[in-house]
Structure 1
Amino acid sequence: HAHCCKSELAGYKRPRAYFSVDALPRNAANKVLRRELMALAAAARDQSDERYSTNLQETSQGAE
């Protein structure tokens, strides 16, 4: 998917990150609950940031 966006979209329109979910959160009228989706994205981003900082710390400790 990323290669498609890179060739088709301007840089400012491309998403910075992708994440997948099994199902979109929806209400009784079957509309997507955007706030819940944004909360899922934030949680995924926080988890990704935590893994990145852990890997970075392990790498820097190995260099000492």
Structure 2
Amino acid sequence: MDHSSFYVVNNAKTQDTAHDGNVTGDLINQHSIERYHVIWNRDKENQRRDYTRIYAFELPT
């Protein structure tokens, strides 16, 4: 793996309207490229989308 992000909000409005438009959906935060509350599925911006693997797990509380 060479990147990670956190799923943070379910069914909310994105705050990155410049990249995502004015949409509602599942949001993530990430820090390798600063993103705050952006849409979970950003296929149009992932140039390696055909090779991207997503691993999901839940952290215990």
TM class by smaller structure: under 0.3
| Structure with bigger gyration radius | 1
Q: As a proportion of its length, which structure holds more strand?
A: 2
Q: Which has the higher contact order (CA 8 A, sep 6+)?
A: 2
TM, length-normalised to structure 1:
0.25
Q: As a proportion of its length, which structure holds more helix?
A: 1
